């Protein structure tokens, strides 16, 4: 390691430490976060657009910031090995994209069920067929009920912060769930922007496995006659009830995480101009495009507000209900064909005919601000 790093609290690194400007890509922002996260082990497998960030994490290993790192044989192997490493009681990081996410999907509910505070980056891209490596976040819809906490970053700054905040939230004894930090690939990973970084001579304090609600898997915790994972599928009512209560506890832990999300992320959502009758609700880079559209609409005298949804799981149902109380039109632009965010919002609201699931962009197309502007104008016309 080139520099001595001092262990500090999440509060210090996130809120108190001075920050300096860096002009970096989203992939570099991931490495900057991992450098300050005191990771024990990271495991990689290449897929576009995730690869660059995991190369940079390999460099951090070579420089001594991480104690172990290797390239595994595929994404399922990565997520399984990260699970094994986390069982062993240390802090881990990995990342993947699109098809890799789906290939590894059997492991994500295992992480949640094993109550592991794993943080994983998802650099979202298209899923075949037809094949696309381009930005698209359809993979998120497959993970909504995996038990993982899901945060959606708007830009490289969010990506950097949400990884560190992810560890702070995931490792709380009353949470202890995996965190997925999602970005729309390429738009965020492969473009350069200004990111404010705390100094590199500080890092999070090490993970303490004794703060876990389930013992570390290291043969150091009696009694030994324990099954480390949720109960086996024996066919009797007690087993069913125990299994069900384990799942309920995962949902309850996600609910308990809200207070920490509020503390570290300043809320599950962010609202600009909440009094506007027309709102755009978005997550990821669609938020950035919505900001541009709103600037144009305001210039034309059309009053439009913005809801940025940062936490997808737990979903900010009540917060969105409160923020849309007076809204007449809610436009939900998304980078996927399914429109999963609009579905989530519709399911949370009364009078959900107010919610318009458009524009939906996919296949690698960009989302010009004009498309959002047109949707707003179209909705106004239709309403009149």
Partner 1 sequence: MSNRIITPVKEFEDLLPQEYKDLVADGPFFAEKGVDDLGTFKEIMEQHPHCAGCGEALGMRLVLAGLPTPQDTLIIGTPGCSFFGLAQTALNYSNTAFGNQNAVASGLKRMLQIRYPDKHKDVVVMVGDGGIADIGLDYTLHSWFRKEKITTIMLDNEVYGNTGGQESGMSKEGKVLNMAPTGKKFPKIPVFELAKTSGCCYVAKVTIASPKKIGKVIRRAILIAREIGPTYVQLFTPCPTNLKFAPDQTLKVAKEAEKDYYPFEEFISDDAAAYLAKVEQAKGDGKS
* Nearer CB in complex with partner 1: 71/259: 71
Q: How far is the CB of 87 from partner 1 (least distance, A)?
A: 6
C-alpha 132/C-alpha 48 separation (Å) is 10
* Nearer CB in complex with partner 1: 235/353: 235
DSSP letter string, 255-290: HHHHHHHHHHHS-SEEEESTT-SEEEEE-THHHHHH
C-alpha 45/C-alpha 60 separation (Å) is 16
Residue 333: closest CA among 293, 301, 296, 363: 293
* Nearer CB in complex with partner 1: 233/353: 233
- Name the one residue in this structure whose structure tokens are 């541009």: 292
* Nearer CB in complex with partner 1: 162/216: 216
Q: How far is the CB of 108 from partner 1 (least distance, A)?
A: 10
* Nearer CB in complex with partner 1: 241/347: 241
Sign of CA dihedral 89, 246, 96, 99: positive
Q: CA 370: distance to chain centroid? A: 28
Sign of CA dihedral 339, 255, 166, 229: negative
Q: How far is the CB of 185 from partner 1 (least distance, A)?
A: 25
Interface residues with partner 1 (CB under 8 A)?
A: 40-41, 43, 67-68, 70, 72-74, 76-78, 80-90, 92, 106-107, 110, 114, 217-229, 232, 234
SS3 88: coil
Q: How far is the CB of 83 from partner 1 (least distance, A)?
A: 6
Q: How far is the CB of 44 from partner 1 (least distance, A)?
A: 13
């Amino acid at each position: 390691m080139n520099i001595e790093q001092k262990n500090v609290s999440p509060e210090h690194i996130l809120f108190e430490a001075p920050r300096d400007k860096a002009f970096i890509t989203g992939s570099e922002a991931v490495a900057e976060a991992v450098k300050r996260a005191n990771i024990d082990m990271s495991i990689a497998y290449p897929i576009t657009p995730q690869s660059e960030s995991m190369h940079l994490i390999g460099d951090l290993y070579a420089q001594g910031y991480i104690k172990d790192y290797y390239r595994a044989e595929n994404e399922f192997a990565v997520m399984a090995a990260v699970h094994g490493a986390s069982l062993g009681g240390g802090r881990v990081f990995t990342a993947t994209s699109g098809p890799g996410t789906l290939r590894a999907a059997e492991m994500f509910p295992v992480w949640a069920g094993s109550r592991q505070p794993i943080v994983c980056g998802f650099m979202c891209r298209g899923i075949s067929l037809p094949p696309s490596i381009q930005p698209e976040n359809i993979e998120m819809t497959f993970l909504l009920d995996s038990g993982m906490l899901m945060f959606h970053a708007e830009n490289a700054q969010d990506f950097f912060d949400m990884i560190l905040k992810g560890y702070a939230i995931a490792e709380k004894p009353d949470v202890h769930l995996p965190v997925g930090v999602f970005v729309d690939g390429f738009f965020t990973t492969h473009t350069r922007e200004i990111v404010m970084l705390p100094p590199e001579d500080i890092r999070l304090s090490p993970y303490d496995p004794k703060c876990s609600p389930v013992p570390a898997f290291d043969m150091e915790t009696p009694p030994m006659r324990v099954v480390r994972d949720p109960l086996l599928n024996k066919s009797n009512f007690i087993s069913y009830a125990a299994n069900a209560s384990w799942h309920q506890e995962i949902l309850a832990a996600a609910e308990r995480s809200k207070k920490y999300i509020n503390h570290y992320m300043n809320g599950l959502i962010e609202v600009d101009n909440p009094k506007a009758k027309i709102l755009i609700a978005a997550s990821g880079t669609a938020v950035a495009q919505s900001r541009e559209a709103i600037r144009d609409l305001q210039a034309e005298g059309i009053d439009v507000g913005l809801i940025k949804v940062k936490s997808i799981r737990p979903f900010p149902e009540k917060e969105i209900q409160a923020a849309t109380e007076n809204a007449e039109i809610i436009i939900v632009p998304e980078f996927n064909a399914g429109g999963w965010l609009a579905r989530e919002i519709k399911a949370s609201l009364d009078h959900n005919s107010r919610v318009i699931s458009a524009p939906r962009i996919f296949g690698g197309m960009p989302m010009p601000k004009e498309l959002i502007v047109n949707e707003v104008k179209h909705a106004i016309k239709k309403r009149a």
